[in-house]
Amino acid sequence: MEKKLYVGNLSYKTKDEDLQNLFSEAGPVASVKVLTDRETGRSRGFGFVEMETEESAQAAISKFDGFTFDGRKLKVNESRPQERRSNSGAPRRSY
């Protein structure tokens, strides 16, 4: 079963391929996505790596949490489900 990992504190120059190459050292990688700003196209400093097995995900966390990559200490942990966003605190209108 695939396991999604959060990877934070990335260098703004880190690309999907860079993470793919790094995390493949811990085991088979299913997918990689470095999130980018819609307007500038620049990395937002974090991304997600989906490992193919629970074992490879745990190996990646052990190996890369705190690991220095592109001059930055990575933060790697299991991805949590995305929290539902409120509509910016604006009062709801009822019609």
pTM: 0.83
3: confidence class by pLDDT, cuts 50, 70, 90: very high
Q: How far is CA 50 from CA 6, 9, 64, 74, in A?
A: 9, 17, 14, 16
For the chain, the structural domain boundaries read 3-78
Largest CA distance in the chain: 56
Share of the chain above pLDDT 90, in %: 74
Question: Could you tell me if 56 and 31 are in contact, meaning their C-beta atoms sit under 8 angstroms apart?
Answer: no
Average pLDDT over residues 28-41: 94
Q: Is the pLDDT of residue 87 over 80?
A: no
Could you tell me the fold of the domain covering 3-78?
Answer: Alpha-Beta Plaits (3.30.70)
